[in-house]
Amino acid sequence: MLRIAIQTKGRLNEESMEMLNSIDINVENAKRKFLSKANNFPIEVLYLRDDDIPGVVANNTAQLGIVGLNEVEEKQADVEIVAKLGWGGCRISLAIPKDEEYTGVEYFNGKRIATSYPGILERFLDEKGVKANIEVITGSVEIAPAAGIADAIFDIVSSGGTLVTNGLKEVERVFESEAVLIANKNLSAEDKELLDEIMFRIESEKVSAKKKYLLMNVPAQNLDKALQILPSMRSPTVMPLADKEWYSLHSVVDAGELWNKVKQLKAIGAEGILVLSLDKIIL
Protein backbone atom coordinates (compact mmCIF):
# COMPACT_ATOMS: atom_id res chain seq x y z
CA MET A 1 0.00 0.00 0.00
CA LEU A 2 1.36 3.38 -1.07
CA ARG A 3 0.80 6.51 0.95
CA ILE A 4 0.65 9.95 -0.69
CA ALA A 5 0.87 13.17 1.34
CA ILE A 6 -1.13 16.14 0.11
CA GLN A 7 -2.02 19.52 1.59
CA THR A 8 -4.97 19.40 4.02
CA LYS A 9 -6.28 22.78 2.98
CA GLY A 10 -4.85 25.73 1.13
CA ARG A 11 -4.02 26.42 -2.46
CA LEU A 12 -2.84 22.97 -3.49
CA ASN A 13 -5.54 20.84 -1.82
CA GLU A 14 -8.25 21.11 -4.40
CA GLU A 15 -6.05 20.53 -7.43
CA SER A 16 -4.23 17.65 -5.71
CA MET A 17 -7.59 15.95 -5.13
CA GLU A 18 -8.65 16.73 -8.69
CA MET A 19 -5.44 15.24 -10.01
CA LEU A 20 -6.06 11.97 -8.15
CA ASN A 21 -9.61 11.97 -9.45
CA SER A 22 -8.53 12.65 -13.01
CA ILE A 23 -6.39 9.49 -12.97
CA ASP A 24 -9.32 7.50 -11.57
CA ILE A 25 -8.12 7.19 -7.99
CA ASN A 26 -11.20 7.67 -5.82
CA VAL A 27 -10.58 9.23 -2.43
CA GLU A 28 -13.04 11.31 -0.52
CA ASN A 29 -11.72 14.73 0.51
CA ALA A 30 -12.10 14.02 4.22
CA LYS A 31 -11.07 17.40 5.59
CA ARG A 32 -11.37 16.36 9.22
CA LYS A 33 -9.59 13.06 8.67
CA PHE A 34 -5.86 12.57 8.78
CA LEU A 35 -5.80 9.56 6.47
CA SER A 36 -8.20 8.24 3.85
CA LYS A 37 -7.97 5.18 1.64
CA ALA A 38 -8.78 5.07 -2.04
CA ASN A 39 -11.51 2.55 -2.82
CA ASN A 40 -10.11 1.48 -6.21
CA PHE A 41 -6.31 1.71 -5.94
CA PRO A 42 -3.86 0.52 -3.25
CA ILE A 43 -3.11 4.02 -1.98
CA GLU A 44 -4.01 6.08 1.06
CA VAL A 45 -3.91 9.84 1.34
CA LEU A 46 -2.22 11.54 4.27
CA TYR A 47 -3.37 15.15 4.78
CA LEU A 48 -0.69 17.52 6.08
CA ARG A 49 0.47 21.13 6.09
CA ASP A 50 2.53 21.67 2.98
CA ASP A 51 5.61 22.48 5.08
CA ASP A 52 5.63 18.92 6.44
CA ILE A 53 5.23 17.08 3.13
CA PRO A 54 8.87 17.03 1.90
CA GLY A 55 10.04 15.69 5.29
CA VAL A 56 7.54 12.84 5.55
CA VAL A 57 8.38 11.72 2.01
CA ALA A 58 12.14 11.91 2.72
CA ASN A 59 11.72 9.70 5.82
CA ASN A 60 9.29 7.32 4.05
CA THR A 61 6.29 7.99 6.33
CA ALA A 62 4.66 8.67 2.96
CA GLN A 63 6.18 7.32 -0.22
CA LEU A 64 4.75 10.08 -2.43
CA GLY A 65 3.73 13.70 -1.99
CA ILE A 66 2.24 16.60 -3.91
CA VAL A 67 3.75 19.92 -2.88
CA GLY A 68 5.14 23.19 -4.23
CA LEU A 69 8.71 22.90 -5.51
CA ASN A 70 9.44 25.91 -3.28
CA GLU A 71 8.82 23.78 -0.16
CA VAL A 72 11.12 21.02 -1.40
CA GLU A 73 13.83 23.57 -2.12
CA GLU A 74 13.36 25.38 1.19
CA LYS A 75 13.61 22.17 3.20
CA GLN A 76 16.42 20.82 0.98
CA ALA A 77 14.50 17.56 1.25
CA ASP A 78 16.25 14.47 -0.06
CA VAL A 79 13.43 13.30 -2.33
CA GLU A 80 12.97 12.44 -5.98
CA ILE A 81 11.07 14.98 -8.10
CA VAL A 82 9.05 12.60 -10.23
CA ALA A 83 6.90 15.03 -12.21
CA LYS A 84 6.18 18.70 -12.58
CA LEU A 85 2.42 18.94 -12.55
CA GLY A 86 1.86 22.14 -14.51
CA TRP A 87 -0.26 23.96 -11.92
CA GLY A 88 0.34 25.88 -8.66
CA GLY A 89 2.78 28.08 -10.53
CA CYS A 90 4.39 30.98 -8.67
CA ARG A 91 7.77 32.52 -8.00
CA ILE A 92 9.58 33.70 -4.90
CA SER A 93 10.80 37.21 -5.31
CA LEU A 94 12.48 40.05 -3.49
CA ALA A 95 10.28 43.15 -3.28
CA ILE A 96 10.89 46.62 -1.88
CA PRO A 97 8.72 49.73 -1.26
CA LYS A 98 7.69 51.04 -4.68
CA ASP A 99 9.25 54.49 -4.27
CA GLU A 100 12.69 53.16 -3.43
CA GLU A 101 15.31 53.33 -6.14
CA TYR A 102 16.60 49.85 -6.91
CA THR A 103 20.26 49.65 -7.80
CA GLY A 104 20.82 45.90 -8.05
CA VAL A 105 21.20 43.10 -5.50
CA GLU A 106 23.78 45.06 -3.52
CA TYR A 107 20.80 47.24 -2.52
CA PHE A 108 20.04 44.57 0.08
CA ASN A 109 23.36 44.92 1.95
CA GLY A 110 22.52 45.79 5.56
CA LYS A 111 18.74 45.60 4.89
CA ARG A 112 16.22 43.60 6.92
CA ILE A 113 14.29 41.18 4.72
CA ALA A 114 11.11 39.49 6.01
CA THR A 115 10.35 36.01 4.67
CA SER A 116 8.94 32.55 5.32
CA TYR A 117 11.65 31.12 3.05
CA PRO A 118 14.91 31.85 4.91
CA GLY A 119 16.73 28.86 3.38
CA ILE A 120 16.23 29.83 -0.27
CA LEU A 121 16.90 33.49 0.55
CA GLU A 122 20.09 32.78 2.46
CA ARG A 123 21.47 30.64 -0.36
CA PHE A 124 20.63 33.36 -2.90
CA LEU A 125 22.24 36.15 -0.85
CA ASP A 126 25.36 34.04 -0.19
CA GLU A 127 25.72 33.33 -3.89
CA LYS A 128 25.49 37.06 -4.64
CA GLY A 129 27.82 38.02 -1.77
CA VAL A 130 25.14 40.16 -0.12
CA LYS A 131 24.96 40.52 3.67
CA ALA A 132 21.42 41.21 4.87
CA ASN A 133 19.41 40.40 7.99
CA ILE A 134 16.76 37.78 7.45
CA GLU A 135 13.63 38.18 9.60
CA VAL A 136 11.64 34.97 9.59
CA ILE A 137 7.87 35.47 9.75
CA THR A 138 5.14 33.05 8.85
CA GLY A 139 2.11 34.60 7.21
CA SER A 140 1.36 38.16 6.01
CA VAL A 141 4.97 38.79 5.04
CA GLU A 142 3.79 41.53 2.67
CA ILE A 143 2.82 43.91 5.48
CA ALA A 144 6.27 43.79 7.12
CA PRO A 145 7.72 46.91 5.43
CA ALA A 146 4.66 49.07 6.21
CA ALA A 147 4.67 47.73 9.77
CA GLY A 148 8.32 48.73 10.14
CA ILE A 149 9.43 45.14 10.77
CA ALA A 150 11.58 44.98 7.65
CA ASP A 151 12.89 47.03 4.71
CA ALA A 152 12.05 44.44 2.08
CA ILE A 153 10.32 41.11 1.65
CA PHE A 154 11.10 37.80 0.00
CA ASP A 155 7.77 36.14 -0.71
CA ILE A 156 5.64 34.16 -3.13
CA VAL A 157 4.31 36.18 -6.06
CA SER A 158 1.74 34.97 -8.50
CA SER A 159 -0.23 37.77 -10.21
CA GLY A 160 1.70 40.49 -8.36
CA GLY A 161 -1.56 41.97 -7.00
CA THR A 162 -0.60 41.53 -3.34
CA LEU A 163 2.63 43.47 -3.86
CA VAL A 164 0.81 46.34 -5.56
CA THR A 165 -1.84 46.47 -2.81
CA ASN A 166 0.92 46.76 -0.24
CA GLY A 167 2.89 49.47 -2.06
CA LEU A 168 5.73 47.13 -3.02
CA LYS A 169 7.55 46.35 -6.28
CA GLU A 170 9.19 43.11 -7.37
CA VAL A 171 12.89 43.62 -8.03
CA GLU A 172 14.43 40.10 -8.16
CA ARG A 173 12.75 36.87 -9.25
CA VAL A 174 14.74 34.30 -7.35
CA PHE A 175 12.94 30.96 -7.62
CA GLU A 176 10.31 29.61 -10.04
CA SER A 177 7.93 27.05 -8.58
CA GLU A 178 5.00 24.83 -9.45
CA ALA A 179 3.32 21.83 -7.86
CA VAL A 180 5.41 18.66 -8.13
CA LEU A 181 4.93 14.98 -7.45
CA ILE A 182 7.73 13.82 -5.17
CA ALA A 183 8.76 10.32 -4.13
CA ASN A 184 10.95 8.69 -1.54
CA LYS A 185 14.36 7.81 -3.02
CA ASN A 186 14.31 4.19 -1.83
CA LEU A 187 10.93 2.88 -2.91
CA SER A 188 10.36 -0.85 -2.67
CA ALA A 189 9.93 -2.70 -5.98
CA GLU A 190 6.23 -3.02 -5.26
CA ASP A 191 5.81 0.71 -4.54
CA LYS A 192 7.83 1.56 -7.63
CA GLU A 193 5.43 -0.46 -9.74
CA LEU A 194 2.46 1.47 -8.31
CA LEU A 195 4.26 4.76 -8.96
CA ASP A 196 4.86 3.69 -12.57
CA GLU A 197 1.13 3.02 -12.93
CA ILE A 198 0.35 6.48 -11.51
CA MET A 199 2.87 8.13 -13.87
CA PHE A 200 1.42 6.25 -16.83
CA ARG A 201 -2.03 7.57 -15.97
CA ILE A 202 -0.75 11.13 -15.45
CA GLU A 203 0.94 11.05 -18.87
CA SER A 204 -2.23 9.74 -20.57
CA GLU A 205 -4.18 12.50 -18.92
CA LYS A 206 -1.67 15.16 -19.99
CA VAL A 207 -1.69 13.97 -23.60
CA SER A 208 -5.50 13.82 -23.78
CA ALA A 209 -5.85 17.34 -22.36
CA LYS A 210 -3.88 18.65 -25.34
CA LYS A 211 -5.93 16.82 -28.00
CA LYS A 212 -9.40 16.98 -29.52
CA TYR A 213 -11.34 14.36 -31.42
CA LEU A 214 -12.82 15.57 -34.71
CA LEU A 215 -15.62 13.90 -36.73
CA MET A 216 -16.97 15.23 -39.98
CA ASN A 217 -18.39 14.41 -43.39
CA VAL A 218 -16.19 15.22 -46.36
CA PRO A 219 -17.13 15.31 -50.07
CA ALA A 220 -15.48 12.36 -51.89
CA GLN A 221 -13.68 14.58 -54.38
CA ASN A 222 -11.89 16.42 -51.54
CA LEU A 223 -10.99 13.39 -49.43
CA ASP A 224 -7.27 13.63 -50.33
CA LYS A 225 -7.16 17.30 -49.32
CA ALA A 226 -8.86 16.47 -46.02
CA LEU A 227 -6.31 13.73 -45.32
CA GLN A 228 -3.52 16.24 -45.86
CA ILE A 229 -5.09 18.65 -43.40
CA LEU A 230 -5.57 15.92 -40.80
CA PRO A 231 -2.46 13.93 -40.03
CA SER A 232 -3.63 11.84 -37.08
CA MET A 233 -1.95 9.56 -34.51
CA ARG A 234 -1.52 7.04 -37.29
CA SER A 235 -3.88 8.23 -39.99
CA PRO A 236 -7.48 9.42 -39.87
CA THR A 237 -10.26 6.84 -39.93
CA VAL A 238 -12.15 7.05 -43.23
CA MET A 239 -15.60 5.48 -43.58
CA PRO A 240 -17.70 5.49 -46.75
CA LEU A 241 -21.25 6.75 -46.31
CA ALA A 242 -24.36 5.30 -47.96
CA ASP A 243 -24.23 8.37 -50.22
CA LYS A 244 -21.16 7.59 -52.40
CA GLU A 245 -20.38 11.29 -52.75
CA TRP A 246 -19.43 11.56 -49.05
CA TYR A 247 -17.06 10.07 -46.50
CA SER A 248 -17.09 10.22 -42.72
CA LEU A 249 -13.67 11.16 -41.28
CA HIS A 250 -12.49 10.74 -37.68
CA SER A 251 -9.22 12.16 -36.40
CA VAL A 252 -7.33 13.39 -33.33
CA VAL A 253 -5.78 16.87 -33.54
CA ASP A 254 -3.74 19.13 -31.26
CA ALA A 255 -6.09 21.39 -29.30
CA GLY A 256 -3.96 24.40 -30.22
CA GLU A 257 -4.46 23.63 -33.93
CA LEU A 258 -8.21 22.99 -33.70
CA TRP A 259 -9.67 26.22 -35.11
CA ASN A 260 -7.08 26.44 -37.83
CA LYS A 261 -7.91 22.86 -38.94
CA VAL A 262 -11.66 23.49 -38.75
CA LYS A 263 -11.26 26.54 -40.97
CA GLN A 264 -9.30 24.59 -43.57
CA LEU A 265 -11.77 21.67 -43.48
CA LYS A 266 -14.76 23.97 -43.95
CA ALA A 267 -12.99 25.55 -46.89
CA ILE A 268 -12.86 22.16 -48.68
CA GLY A 269 -16.54 21.50 -47.99
CA ALA A 270 -16.47 19.47 -44.76
CA GLU A 271 -19.87 19.39 -43.05
CA GLY A 272 -21.32 18.30 -39.73
CA ILE A 273 -18.04 18.86 -37.92
CA LEU A 274 -18.14 17.56 -34.35
CA VAL A 275 -15.41 18.36 -31.81
CA LEU A 276 -15.12 16.07 -28.77
CA SER A 277 -12.90 16.23 -25.69
CA LEU A 278 -10.89 13.13 -24.91
CA ASP A 279 -10.89 11.54 -21.49
CA LYS A 280 -7.67 9.53 -21.86
CA ILE A 281 -5.20 8.72 -24.62
CA ILE A 282 -3.20 5.54 -24.10
CA LEU A 283 -0.11 5.72 -26.29
| Interface with ligand PRT (CB under 6 A) | 7, 10-12, 49-51, 68, 70-71, 88, 90, 142, 155-162, 177
Site size for Zn ion (CB under 5 A):
2
Residue whose CB is less far from Zn ion, 108 or 117? 117
Binding string, residues 26-65; x marks residues near Zn ion by CB under 5 A? ------------------------xx--------------
In the complex, minimum distance from the CB of residue 111 to ligand PRT, in angstroms, rounded to a whole number: 20
88 binds, among ligand PRT, Zn ion, none (CB under 5 to 8 A by kind): ligand PRT
Residue whose CB is less far from ligand PRT, 179 or 218? 179
Minimal CB distance residue for ligand PRT = 68
Which residue in 87, 92, 125 sits closest to 106, CA to CA? 125
How far CA 94 is from CA of 55, 133, 157, in Å, comes to 26, 13, 9
Q: How far apart are the first and last CA of the chain?
A: 27
In the complex, minimum distance from the CB of residue 38 to ligand PRT, in angstroms, rounded to a whole number: 21
In the complex, minimum distance from the CB of residue 41 to ligand PRT, in angstroms, rounded to a whole number: 24
Question: Strand 152-157 relative to strand 271-277: parallel, antiparallel, unpaired?
Answer: unpaired
Residue whose CB is less far from ligand PRT, 34 or 259? 34
Residue whose CB is less far from ligand PRT, 142 or 191? 142
How far CA 60 is from CA of 126, 182, 187, 212, 222, in Å, comes to 31, 11, 8, 40, 60
Residue whose CB is less far from ligand PRT, 11 or 123? 11
Phi and psi, residue 153, nearest 5°: -130, 160
The Cα angle at residue 213 between residues 219 and 89, in degrees rounded to 5: 145
Q: Residue 277: CB partners within 8 Å, gap ≥ 6?
A: 212, 213
- The residues that touch Zn ion, with contacts defined as CB under 5 A, are 50-51
